[in-house]
Amino acid sequence: MIKRREPVGGLREKVRVPRVHLALAALLTLLGGACTPQGIGGEPVTVPPPPATTGVPDSGPVTLTVWDQETGQVSKVWDRLNAEFEQHYPNVTIDRVNVDFGELKTLLKLAVSGPNAPDIVEANQGWPDMGGLVRAGLLLPLDNYAEAYGWIDRVPAAVRAVSSWTPDGREFGTGNLFGYTSLGEILGVYYNKQKLAALGLTVPTTFAAFEQALATAKSAGEVPIQFANNAAFPGIHEFVMIQDQMAAPQDLTDFIFGDRAVNPSFDTPENVQAAATLQDWAKAGYFTPGFGGTGYETSIANFAKGEGLFMITGNWIVADLGADNADFGFFPMPPMEAGDPPVSTGGAGFPLSITVGSQHPDAAAAYIDFMTNDHATSLLLRVGQLPLSTGDTSAEVEPGTLLADVVGAANAVAKANGVVPYEDWATPTFYDTLSASIQELMAERLTPQEFVAKVQDDYAEFQESRP
Amino acid sequence: MIRDLGQQAPAIPSPAVAVGTRRRRERFEPLPGESRRLGYLYILPAFLLYAAFNLVPLAQGVNDSFFHWDGITDGTWAGLANYKEFFTEAEIRTGYVHVLILMIFYAFLPIVIGLFLAAVLSRIRIRGLTFFRLLLFLPLVITDVVTAVAWNWIYDTHGPLNAVFKAVGLGGLIPSAGWLGDFNTALPAVGVFGLWGQFGFCLILFLAGVMKIPSSLYEAARVDGANAFHEFFAVTLPGLRYELQVVLVLTVVGTLGTFDEIYVMTAGGPGTATTVPAYLVWRRMFQTGQVGSAAALGIMLMLIVFAVAYGINRLMERGAER
């Protein structure tokens, strides 16, 4: 649109929209509106037959393309495991594509639906990601592999449920298995042992005692909860940790799965109470000043440096603080009544799925088994990943370390059947709606009642549009 | 205006008419030599690329905007529902309000500051002008993502901006949620980033324009007793009309397409305090599986950009004819 100096007449001419352009625009409009955008899968998927043998069949060279979103120390372990797998099966080449979480969310659907789909992908559970891929018929049901490799007995039913869908992708939490992992995640409260002792406090055993500890820390001039919400997702973690103590875990799970039989809603008295509590904490100054403008990584670094009594987040920062660190501890958010079973958001980590386009599904299944066997989980445990096949791994952990606390908390929650899935799996837009609304709630731009109503709007809209 | 002129002096045809008739005659009297149709062959390679990467996706976008589609399963016919959404959804309306606010920082202020500085600089000789030009142009050469990351750091709680505020005793003005985290300051903070990037561009174009204004005009103005103020409005501003038009179109259209800095600095937050139309298009397209809605938003944005660019050009030219 850069215009040169021209005589007045020339300028006038330029302004006129040439007829050709108008005609072209009309043509485009006619062309449009003619064809329905097509899905890529089309055919309903069938469960592949059980493999003749476990392991990779030795029938010529096999290249397995794997898309994952692992970072840091965990990513290095993946490299090592990939090399070991190639060594074990000389005819196999692993082509690893490592992308970050946000990028994976953006690119995965495009990659899996394209002509050169990867064989194995880490697809986030829930309606936004795995749900769409299943509905499009782009992932293979793994039931027969699970049978052949004994995955079913290795992990709790709740872990399989969050990767289970009916083959048409209409119901979540039931049906066929579309992804598998033996590694888990847990949200909880990290604490600075020195500060807790200096304040004359012990690890709280009730929610009320936890709130009392916050007040004590605040009046002593400490930052009660290290927190940064520039990235918006940490706010979800603060909220669900409160919510988990106030609402029944089964109700929360039904809500996330969208179980039509119980017609769940976000607009419940328990959620209003949880929202009010979070808002009260923000009002009371229990969170790091300036939390809205600070990045998540910065908050981890600040907590490690000794700023803040508590930090509410997931097991994945263990490696940042140091698995063998004895200065920090970890506990599940304490229940309302002392002695009640612990409840916490978490559960399965990123599951591995096989795409419909894979030429070597049997080899891909062998790879998934290899990445989730005892050898893999023991290597990954040392970098802070929690094995879900509980019992046999606690012995490998040095007692008194941060990692021991995290493993202990995860086991306690799993044994009490208190694992609640991530709330942002509830609808394709839930992550955005919930994280933005929590920011508004904490800035007192929404009342707790307005907050639940706004989030419920998103939920209701999705439930109506569900096939 | 032109018509009025014509009525007053019918004997003299206006230049516009003259140019038009000459052109028309040319079309019917082909020049000797190669066939005119061969020209189409010359533009074919470029046209094929243009069609493949612009026209076809545009047609697809128009098509998709009439469907509810998640991008991977079959779409269902939506009629005009996605366009209706455009006019009814609060989120979209808020996005456009934010863009209007950003225009103050991305278009209005850079032009005002650029004009002022150009007027001042035109009156004095500056040594090392090329160097300053380079400095001012640098923000435009470096990609927005890189500079936005740097500005994130500037706005950080422990960043240099807060350090300066505290050093001069204005620490109390720092919002407790941080500049990019506070609902009231996040959008202006992004705006200041844009101002920093845009005003150098405006200034450079204006400076180039000022240099083309014959110095005899300034001398004549001074002989007539004009002060700096008169000089600016009587000589500098009219002389910069074309530059102003270019700058206005580019900055306003650029603001409508704001995406990079929002993606890097705020992700539309806190809450929805910095959502803009282009960011909503991206999010719906790639994050939340609302491809039809994203396509409709994109088409509407395109139409608005066309209308605004056309409107600005019309406005400026009407001003010129007066």
Give the pairing type, strands A419-420 and A92-98: unpaired
The answer on pLDDT for A18 being more than 60 is no
**Chain-chain contact of A232 with B19 (C-beta, under 8 angstroms):** no
Q: How confident is the model at residue A268 (pLDDT cuts 50, 70, 90)?
A: very high
Residues 242-281 of B with CB under 8 A from A: 242, 245-246, 249-250, 253, 266-272
Residues 166-225 of A with CB under 8 A from B: none
Residues 283-302 of A with CB under 8 A from B: 289-295, 298
How is residue B109 written in tokens? 């202020």
> What does the pLDDT read at residue B163?
93
d(CA A437, CA B269): 10
User: Which has more pLDDT, B241 or A226?
Assistant: A226
Q: For the ranges A203-207, A343-347, B25-29, which has the lowest average pLDDT? A: B25-29
ipTM: 0.76
> What does the pLDDT read at residue A33?
46
> What does the pLDDT read at residue B21?
46
Question: pLDDT tens, A292-319?
Answer: 877 888 899 999 999 999 999 999 898 8
d(CA A400, CA A339): 22
Q: Average pLDDT per run of 10 along chain B, which is 322 residues long? A: 40 43 52 72 93 92 91 86 92 95 96 90 75 82 90 88 92 85 92 92 89 88 87 88 92 94 89 94 89 95 95 84 62
> What does the pLDDT read at residue A466?
80
| A445 in B contact zone (CB under 8 Å) | yes
> What does the pLDDT read at residue A45?
74
> What does the pLDDT read at residue B18?
43
Distance from CA of B206 to the nearest CA of A (A): 14
> What does the pLDDT read at residue A112?
87
Q: Which residues contact B38 (CB under 8 A, 6 or more apart)?
A: none
Question: pLDDT tens, B244-303?
Answer: 999 999 999 999 999 999 998 988 889 899 999 999 999 999 888 899 999 999 999 999
**Chain-chain contact of B19 with A10 (C-beta, under 8 angstroms):** yes
In 3-state terms, what secondary structure has residue A453? helix
Q: For the ranges A18-32, A144-158, B82-96, B298-312, which has the lowest average pLDDT? A: A18-32
Mutation target to probe the A interface, by most A beta carbons within 10 A, among B47, B50, B73 is: B73
| A229 in B contact zone (CB under 8 Å) | yes
Give the pairing type, strands A352-354 and A120-122: antiparallel
Contacts of A229 in chain B (CB under 8 A): 181, 270
What b/e string do you get for A107-143 counting C-beta neighbours within 10 Å, with b at 16 or more? ebbebbbeeebbbbbbbbbbbbbbbbbbbbbbbbbbb
Residues 404-443 of A with CB under 8 A from B: 428-429, 432, 435-437, 439-440, 443
Distance from CA of A150 to the nearest CA of B (A): 32
User: Which has more pLDDT, A113 or A130?
Assistant: A130
In 3-state terms, what secondary structure has residue A131? helix
C-alpha dist (Å) from residue B257 to A108, B42, B283: 26, 32, 14
| A44 in B contact zone (CB under 8 Å) | no
> What does the pLDDT read at residue B15?
44
> What does the pLDDT read at residue A21?
55
What proportion of chain A, given as a percentage, has pLDDT over 70?
A: 89
C-alpha dist (Å) from residue A461 to A24, A303, A428: 37, 39, 11
User: Which has more pLDDT, A76 or A114?
Assistant: A76
How is residue B259 written in tokens? 């995406």
